[in-house]
Amino acid sequence: MIVALIDSGLGMLPTSAWLRRLRPDLDLLLCLDPEGAPWGPKPRDWVITRVVEAAERAVGLGAEVVVLPCNTASVTALEHVRERLGPGVPVVGTVPAIKPAAAASRSVAIWATAATTASDYQADLIARFGNGATVVGVPCHGLADAIDLGDPARVSAAIADAVARTPADCDAVVLGCTHYPLVETEIVATLPAGVRLFDSAEAVAAQTLRRIDALGRTGAGTGAVSVLLSGIPGELPASALDYEAGRLLGAAHRT
């Protein structure tokens, strides 16, 4: 069973690592797009085309399930991918963990990219799942880019800026970009004590496994990890190995 995960950069790593931990027999096809990254600032139609083409390419290589562990790809292209691939190929998207955070706290901050923070998409999620809590968006300028580059100084500066923008009474932070769990330890160390973090990577991995089981197909896989870089077979970027999730996947890729 091959599961393809599609993102422009390293935001796919947390969900991919959860799949590796939960079902190490699955074959993972990691589809990054260094030539097109980042997707967030790109025109909507461009992103749709890029993501749909990546999904079609993955299915052509044998993927039976496609995951979009990327908020931009999920918001922009999820339904287009589902339409193109048809009902026989499950396609799993990503939604920030606003609902569980708002159920656990009365004051929630959503850390996300500037574009996502200003989007109607995030406003709609807050309206639907805010559960009466005070929910504020905090734009994390440059954090995703710094994570992709593996630049510790820029990561630290971006986290410090986000903490400064987070309301003092907030006791829950939603990591609304799939890159951010890669630096969770530093985020926890920088936030005030007692602030809880919520992210969707484990939930997306669990939903993927449910969709796999629903297929009812025999045969799992060999546990192989393969990488495509803008459609060309390659290696995980060196910066991926700066993070635990990247090292886990990188070790599997080399075996």
- Place 119 in a pLDDT band, splitting at 50, 70 and 90: confident
- 41 pLDDT tier (thresholds 50, 70, 90): confident
11 in Cβ contact with 39 (< 8 Å): no
Q: Which tokens belong to 241?
A: 């190995």
The percent of residues above 90 in pLDDT, for the chain, comes to: 89
CATH topology of domain 98-199: Rossmann fold (3.40.50)
Domains 2-94+202-254 and 98-199 share a fold: yes
Question: Integer distance in angstroms from the first to the last C-alpha of the chain?
Answer: 18
Interval 162-188: pLDDT, tens: 999 999 999 999 999 999 999 999 999
Q: Does position 217 have pLDDT exceeding 90, yes or no?
A: no
Mean pLDDT of 121-140: 94
Catalytic position from the list 31, 70, 140, 170? 70
Topology, domain 2-94+202-254: Rossmann fold (3.40.50)
Average pLDDT over residues 93-104: 95
Average predicted confidence (pLDDT) for the chain: 95
**What count of other Cβ atoms lies within 10 Å of the Cβ of residue 61?**
14
pTM of the shown model? 0.94
Do residues 144 and 38 touch, judged by C-beta distance below 8 A? Answer: yes
Question: Which residues contact residue 33 at a Cβ distance below 8 angstroms, ignoring those fewer than 6 apart?
Answer: 7, 8, 9, 39, 50, 54, 229, 230
Confidence at residue 159, expressed as pLDDT on a 0 to 100 scale: 98
List alpha helices for 105-200, DSSP H.
Answer: 114-117, 120-129, 143-149, 152-165, 184-190
Residue 124 has pLDDT above 90, yes or no: yes
DSSP helix, strand, coil percent of the chain (3-state; round to 5) = 50, 15, 30
For residue 164, the tally of other CB atoms under 10 A from its CB is 9
Active site residue 31: no
* Active-site residue flag, 177: yes
Distance of CA 61 to the CA centre of its chain: 22
Ranges of H-type helices in 4-151? 13-22, 44-60, 71-85, 98-104, 114-117, 120-129, 143-149
Q: What is the pLDDT of residue 219?
A: 65
**What residue segments make up the domains of the chain, in order of their start?**
2-94+202-254, 98-199
Which among 31, 140, 170, 177 is annotated as catalytic?
A: 177
Helix orientation angle between 201-215 and 13-22, rounded to the nearest 10 degrees: 50
How confident is the model at residue 254, as a pLDDT? 58
Question: Is 60 exceeded by the pLDDT of residue 255?
Answer: no
Residue 66 Rama label (left phi>0; alpha psi -120 to 50; beta): beta
Rounded to an integer, what distance in angstroms lies between the CA atom of residue 227 and that of residue 253? 8
Q: Which residues are bridge partners to 138 per DSSP?
A: 111
pLDDT value at residue 99: 95
pLDDT at 61 over 90: yes
88-97 residue pLDDT tens: 999 999 999 9
pLDDT value, residue 221: 84
pLDDT at residue 152, as a whole number = 96
pLDDT value of position 118: 86
Q: For the chain, what is the largest distance between any 2 Cα atoms, rounded to a whole number of angstroms?
A: 52
> Between these two residues, 14 and 121, which has the higher pLDDT value?
14
Please report the pLDDT score of residue 92 as a whole number. Answer: 98
